[in-house]
A and B are shown apart, each in its own frame.
Chain A
Amino acid sequence: MHEMSIAMSIVESVVAHAQKEGALRISGVELLVGKLAGIEAESLKFCFSAAAAGTLAAKALLVVEEPEGVGECGECGMRFQVTFYYAECPKCRSLRITIVSGEEFLIQSITIEEEGEQENV
């Protein structure tokens, strides 16, 4: 359910950036949503199109990159892929795991359309 308010804040933010750049419209938005970020990417995409309606981002293509979670073992230091917070070290079986990536939640970039130089035909 929080995906809707988050989608609205993303639209707000990218529209503000696009307006500052003098864009005609936003054609693309790239997000980085780690698999451990607590965000359902599919739900976010659905909400984004609703939140973007009637704004400069109305026709923007939303691309979501979902980096895998990576944990680091507090005992032996091994780094390995994790899908959840309660990971176990595959090497030493320790549960003292710290998440080192996969919690990212960023607006990576926006692609804007703007008026080009006037060309003489």
Chain B
Amino acid sequence: MCDTCGCSADGGAVLRKPGESDYLMYVSDGNHGYTHHHAGEEHHSSANVQGEHHDHAHDYHHHESITRKIVLEQDVLQKNNLLAERNRGYFEARHIFALNFLSSPGSGKTTLLEIIIPLLQQRIPVAVIEGDQQTTNDADRIHALGVPVIQINTGSGCHLDALMVNRAVKELEVQDNSLLCIENVGNLVCPALFDLGEALKVVIISVTEGDDKPLKYPTMFHEADLCILNKIDLLPYVEFDVAKCRENAMRVNHHLEWFEVSAKSGEGLAILLEWLEHRLSHH
């Protein structure tokens, strides 16, 4: 939290822990005036500047205001990207394999985690960061598995960013040689742009969505490393062309690893787990 005015920075994002109703941490980088501005302060400085200029305009000893162009060529997402690289370095040094799970709301990210975490935990410690606008519902579900979990509530925010993950990791106490699952805010648009420092991006779609989703939201599928098609147990009841969906996904990103699973029935999970374990052992 901001010490001066008490406002919450970074779009009002907060961290919460399941079972600890008193725990509430504001995401803020503590560097005042950089992460956020106090409207009042800005206003004062702006007013001063305008006031000065006004005086000059009536001054017979002209202080001509001159214009100058400054070339910056600075990446707009530089701040996030630099912090993401810091996260990545931290993860690499401590052999933490971080996965960023991305999807529309309701495609089964949390259910998939509930199924694969107990299986993966037999060979590697697992920790989870949950991202949602509000509630600790998802973190509560993961907490029930007995793994360390922290909830990021983004408030008005539509995605997780590297700063939120940086803060969450510090609060979570992730073990060395472990798997960190980051469940992003359910959204197929914005989270694609924000690197969190993960090793891999995992995009999940379900058969109750359209098979043209990769074409409708190409940025996400272009950024992803693997794509998991979930809820395949429902295929007999829905109009969904798996081959077409896969082809669409591959057209957007021909490096995409493709998996077909049902978190409910367990179908296809063995192949996914085998692939993940292979990546873990080569991490």
Contacts and interface: CB of A to CB of B under 8 A. Distances in A.
- A and B found bound together: yes
B77 A105 contact: yes
A93 interface: no
Contact of A56 (B46, B159, B192, B222): B46
A5 B194 CA distance: 12
Contact of B219 (A13, A85, A117, A121): A85
Q: How large is the interface on B (under 10, 10 to 19, 20 to 34, 35 or more residues)?
A: 35 or more
B218 interface: yes
Contact of A12 (B34, B190, B253, B254): B34
B76 A54 contact: no
Given A55-B42, A121-B61, A108 B250 contact: no
B252 A86 contact: yes
**Most chain B Cβ neighbours within 10 Å, of A24, A28, A118:** A24
Contacts, number: 135
Contact of A107 (B35, B45, B74): B74
Contacts of A14: 72
Where chain A touches its partner, the secondary structure class is: mixed
Interface in B40-88: 42-43, 45-46, 49-50, 52-53, 56, 60-80
A9 to B, nearest CB: 6
A26 B49 CA distance: 11
25 contacts: A1-B189, A5-B157, A12-B34, A12-B35, A13-B79, A21-B68, A24-B52, A28-B69, A54-B39, A54-B42, A54-B43, A85-B221, A85-B251, A86-B218, A95-B250, A95-B251, A106-B75, A107-B76, A109-B72, A109-B73, A118-B62, A118-B63, A119-B63, A120-B61, A121-B61
Interface of A: 1-2, 5-6, 9-10, 12-14, 16-17, 21, 24-25, 27-28, 31, 36, 38-39, 54-56, 58, 84-86, 95-96, 99, 105-121
What 6 A-B pairs have minimum CB-CB distances, sorted nearest first? Answer: A116-B64, A2-B190, A86-B251, A116-B66, A85-B218, A38-B219
